[in-house]
Chain A
Amino acid sequence: MTMVQQKPENTVSNGLTLQQKEEITGWLMALPAMLLLFTFLLLPFLGAFAMSFTNQRLVSPNPTEFVGTSNFVDLLSLRIFTLEPVRDETTGEVVRDEDGNIEYPRLRTFTRNNPEYPQLDGMQEWRSWQTGETRTVLLATDVLFWTALVNTVIFVVVVAPLQGGIALLLALLINQKLMGVNIFRMIYFMPVVVSMVVVSLLWRFIYDGQNGLLNSVLSFVTFGLFEPVDWLGNPETAMGALIVMSVWQGVGFHMVIWLAGMQTIPQSLYEAASIDGAGAWQKFRFVTMPGLRNTGILILIVITMQAFSLYTQVQVMTRGGPVDATQSLVYQAVIRGFEQQNIAGGSAISVILFVIVLIISIIQRYLTRERSA
């Protein structure tokens, strides 16, 4: 206690320069956040990464074993297989059913316990198409994973531009000095504040196939001509319904970010443009747009990542159905890990999702990088 002497303020102690001291302070200030990120983000991810190479179960008396990449092989395996039509044994002609469709042998006779086709064992049909008399089948070991992957990609590809675009439009509309514009800002922002679970439950009522709000409104404006649609119960409309609802829910948040970006553009630029005789469109194109460049990059990346983690809406509204029309990667990861008690399988999906998002972020960063003239 008596070793350290009191020193006057503003002098450097322990032989540290002021810059070193500031660096230490900086790290200390970052420490709590880093600790939290490490404990709740990095550590679980490393855990998931490690578990995806084992056969870890949620609960099991069996010991966990290292299984190499077999979880990933099971998820990602695809094969093309050609089915020859069934031919009449005597005439050699192609057998057709009552409707004139060519008959093929059942695929399951090749994919299940068939010693002649060991490479097809356990695979299922994902897609198939007919060329001439033969039918080509795209087989996957895990059809559900591929369906979820394609659905998730479709969701991202539609939601990212739609949500970003509508948010920009709304931001332009409410970035005006009008009476009561704050009320509109509040209204557009409201869905963001409400929990996604609540929003999903409310929209389930809106989409109800019999007496939902959407059907009632459509039937009213068409004077009863509109036939009610079971929006969430129909494989063709379910994903679209989720997309519309998700865009509506998230648009307010991104509108606010666009708005913040717009308000950093100096008013003097618009005044200068006016003096040069620029119209409204020219001002938007040559002043607003370049000024919002970095905001746009941020929004694009944020929406992409949020859209890839599609889960809550699926869980509350459709549970992946009808007929897998709304399966998503995160939903499959959760279902496998916690309901089917297959932690290793769920972890493998998470790792794949991480790699996909990482690659897309890198590509986005590259495409939107600052180009030096």
Chain B
Amino acid sequence: MRMKKLVSLLALVAVLALGVAGTSAQDPVELSLWYHGAGNDAERSVLVSIIEDFNASQSDYVVTLEEFPQESYNESVTAAGLSGDLPDIIDVDGPVMPNWAWSGFLQPLEIDETLLENYLPGALGYWNGDLYSVGLWDAAKAIFARQSVLEANGIRIPTLDEPWTLEEFDAALVTLQETGEYDFAFDPGMAWTGEWYPYAFSPFLQSFGGDLIDRETYMGAEGVLNGEEAIAFGEWWQSLYDRDLAPGTSQDGADRETGFIDGRYAIQWNGNWAALGALDAFGDDMLFLPAPDFGSGSVIGAASWQFGVAATSENPEGANAFIEFALQDQYLADFSVATGLIPATTTAANLTENYAEGGPLSVFFQLSAEQGLIRPPTPGYVVMALEFEKAMADIANGADVIDSLDAAVDAIEDDIEANSGYGF
């Protein structure tokens, strides 16, 4: 009895092993893809169509999609990286990419460079001279305002060539606040805690002439984040809240979403993803204006979500092939139509109604191309972002400007030191 059982078991194992070996020669290799946009149906349908097209276009690879909610996506990838369970293709937020590349989560991309010639610089993720990630879109910010409101108050409408100066912008806010028609003249978006602060407000700092870190060395922030220009920015920032021109950190998320459209805020600092809603509300009266030039030119943040290849991927050729496949203008345009984001190439922009030349949102394409500045491409950015956010919130809440900036500089430099310079 026993002997017989053993033999049949062995035979079964042998058959199974043969079977697996036999089929694996023909079956396509599975590539996993992680995406941050769980719950966003518009993005999902475009991504799924790209994956289906790719899977149908060749027989070597099959891409499978796993989605995560954005709030917990970075933590999920970090946890997977620590336990060695990364997927083949990783979706990564532009400013976080250097941290993941440095941590050994990502490997440099190997895709045809000619595909990237026409690209918006913000959609390309370079670190240490290597391309680690590439995005199908970028995002841009603008000042949202209504033509009728500005004209009624005698405020000049700025252009890309001649944006508002600090004095002009500040005077405009005071004028609008004095009309008494608005809860606040300006809504910078303090309710959106997290990455919004460095993404949206560090360009103001850069336009004043400061920065988060010395971009020559990436080793220190002394004199940059707490230099004269930065202090001037901090004092102006604090004055916005002291003079009740802007809602502070306790702003409610719902007010942020609807305050401008409901007419409770006169001017709003917002991203192009909110542009379609504003256009629906105000139509031709709606203006998307460039960021003010606070002294060193207008600046807006660049770089959004991008695709990279995991360092642990056993099939990097396949992962690279998928990313190359996804970079077709048609897909860039599809994403833009579905989400309102800026297509990463001019040729793709021309395929869309909103971003084609003369389209209602084409101004964002110009803004992104001309004023986009990526957040410091260093693994230490993660901590810089947190310290900058804290400083901005504290200053808005009345903390001493110089002390707050000094504290941020110290914390950023301590972190760089604790990480042996992050490879710089």
Contacts of B316 in A (CB 8 A): none
Taking a contact as CB atoms under 8 Å apart, the answer to whether B394 and A122 are in contact is no
B250:A233 contact, CB within 8 angstroms: yes
Give the contacting residue for A319; candidates B193, B406, B410; CB below 8 A.
B193
CB atoms of B397 and A235 under 8 A apart: yes
**Contact call A233/B386, Cβ cutoff below 8 A:** no
Indicate if the CB atoms of A321 and B398 lie closer than 8 Å.
no
Give the residues in chain B near A204, CB-CB below 8 Å.
252
Q: Do the beta carbons of B249 and A321 come within 8 Å of each other?
A: yes
Answer whether residue A20 sits at the interface, using C-beta atoms and an 8 A cutoff: no
Q: Is A124 an interface residue (CB 8 A)?
A: yes
* Cβ < 8 Å to B, chain A residues 124-177: 124-125, 143
Known A143-B407, A341-B383; judge A57-B394 contact (CB<8 A): no
Contact A57 B248 (CB under 8 A): no
Contact segment of B39-47, B276-284, B297-305, B412-420: B412-420
B250 touches A60 (CB 8 A): no
Closest to B398 in A: A323
Contacting pair B382 A321 (CB below 8 A): no
| B329 on interface, CB distance cutoff 8 Å | no
List residues of A (227-257) whose CB comes within 8 Å of B's CBs: 230, 232-233, 235
Segment 90-125 of B: residues with Cβ below 8 Å from A: 99-100, 102-105
Q: Check B183–A59 contact: CB distance below 8 A.
A: no
Are B81 and A124 within 8 A (Cβ)?
A: no
**Distance of A205 Cα from B254 Cα, bound (Å):** 10
Interface assignment of B75: CB less than 8 Å from any CB of chain A: yes
Closest Cβ of chain A to B420, distance in Å, is 6
Looking across the interface, which residue of chain A has its beta carbon closest to that of B104?
A61
CB pair B383–A340 under 8 Å, yes or no, is yes
Find out whether the CB atom of B414 lies under 8 angstroms from the CB atom of A122. yes
Measured CA separation A277–B75 after assembly (Å): 66
A310 CA to B399 CA, complexed, in Å: 24
Given contacts A59-B99, A339-B386, contact A322 B397 (CB under 8 A): yes
B82 at interface, CB cutoff 8 A: yes
Which A residues are in CB contact (< 8 Å) with B183?
A: 210
Q: How large is the interface on A (under 10, 10 to 19, 20 to 34, 35 or more residues)?
A: 20 to 34
Is A24's beta carbon under 8 Å from chain B? Answer: no
Contact among B75, B103, B406 for A338, CB-based, below 8 A? B75
List which B378-400 residues lie within 8 A (CB) of chain A: 382-383, 386, 390, 393-394, 397-399
B103 touches A61 (CB 8 A): yes
- Return B10 CB to nearest CB of chain A, in Å: 26
Which chain B positions have C-beta within 8 A of A79? Answer: none
Interface: B78 (CB within 8 A): yes
B-contacting residues, A322-373, CB 8 Å: 322-324, 335, 338-342
Give Cα A204–Cα B250 distance, bound, in whole angstroms. Answer: 9
Cβ contact within 8 Å between A122 and B410: yes
Contact B78 A230 (CB under 8 A): no
Flag if B407 contacts A321 (CB, 8 Å).
Answer: no
Which of A55, A319, A320, A341 contacts B382 (CB under 8 A)? A341
Pick the contact of A321 from B102, B393, B410 — CB < 8 Å? Answer: B393
Cβ-defined contact, B394 with A321, below 8 A? yes
Query: In the assembly, what is the distance between CA of A320 and CA of B397, in Å?
Result: 12
Known: A59-B78, A60-B419, A341-B383. Contact between A230 and B248, CB under 8 A? Answer: yes
Given contacts A124-B407, A233-B397, A321-B393, contact A340 B415 (CB under 8 A): yes
- Taking CB atoms, residues of chain B closer than 8 Å to A324 are 394
A320: chain B residues at CB < 8 Å are 390
A residues 46-62 in Cβ contact with B at 8 Å: 55, 57-62
Complex Cα distance, B99 from A103, in Å, reads: 44
Q: How far is the CB of A150 from chain B (nearest CB, A)?
A: 17
Write the chain B residue with the least CB distance to A67. Answer: B418
Q: With the chains together, A62 CA to B103 CA distance in Å?
A: 9
Task: Find chain B residues with CB under 8 A from A62 CB.
Answer: 419-420
| CB proximity of B373 to chain A, nearest CB, Å | 24
A124 and B193 contact, CB distance less than 8 A: no
**Whole-angstrom CA separation of A348 from B57 in the bound complex:** 53
Chain B residues with CB under 8 Å of A285's CB are none
A96 close to B (CB within 8 Å): no
Task: State how many angstroms separate the Cβ of A208 from the closest Cβ of chain B.
Answer: 6
Instruction: Evaluate contact between B82 and A59: CB separation under 8 angstroms.
Output: yes
Of B104, B250, B383, the contact of A232 (CB 8 Å cutoff): B250
In the docked arrangement, what's the CA distance between A322 and B102, Å?
A: 34
- Residues of B with C-beta under 8 A to A335: 386
**Docked-complex contact A208 and B99, CB < 8 angstroms:** no
State the Cβ distance, A72 to closest chain B Cβ, in Å. Answer: 15
B199 to chain A, nearest CB (A): 16
* A112–B407 alpha-carbon span in the complex (Å): 12
How far is B193's CA from A232's CA once the two chains are assembled, in angstroms?
A: 15
A233 surroundings in chain B (CB, below 8 A): 248-250, 397
- Complex-state Cα separation, A314 to B310, whole angstroms: 35
Q: For A339, list chain B residues within 8 Å (CB).
A: 382, 386
Give the CA-CA distance A320 to B183 in the complex, in Å.
26
> Which parts of B75-94 form the interface with A (CB within 8 Å)?
75, 78, 81-82
B99 surroundings in chain A (CB, below 8 A): 59
A window 197-220: CB within 8 A of B = 204-205, 208-210
Please, which residues of chain B bring their CB within 8 A of the CB of A21? Answer: none
Residues of A within 8 A of B75 (CB): 338
Enumerate the 10 nearest inter-chain pairs by beta-carbon distance, A residue then B residue, closest first: A233-B250, A322-B397, A59-B103, A323-B399, A323-B397, A232-B250, A323-B394, A233-B248, A321-B393, A340-B383
Question: What are 12 A-B interface contacts by the 8 Å CB criterion?
Answer: A57-B419, A62-B420, A112-B222, A112-B410, A125-B403, A204-B252, A210-B183, A233-B250, A233-B397, A324-B394, A339-B382, A341-B383
16 more A-B residue pairs beyond the given contacts A61-B103, A112-B410, with a C-beta to C-beta distance below 8 A: A59-B78, A124-B403, A204-B252, A208-B250, A209-B250, A235-B398, A320-B390, A321-B249, A322-B249, A322-B250, A322-B393, A322-B394, A323-B394, A340-B382, A340-B386, A341-B382
* Chain B positions near chain A (C-beta within 8 angstroms): 75, 78, 81-82, 99-100, 102-105, 183, 193, 222, 248-250, 252, 255, 382-383, 386, 390, 393-394, 397-399, 403, 406-407, 410, 414-415, 418-420, 423
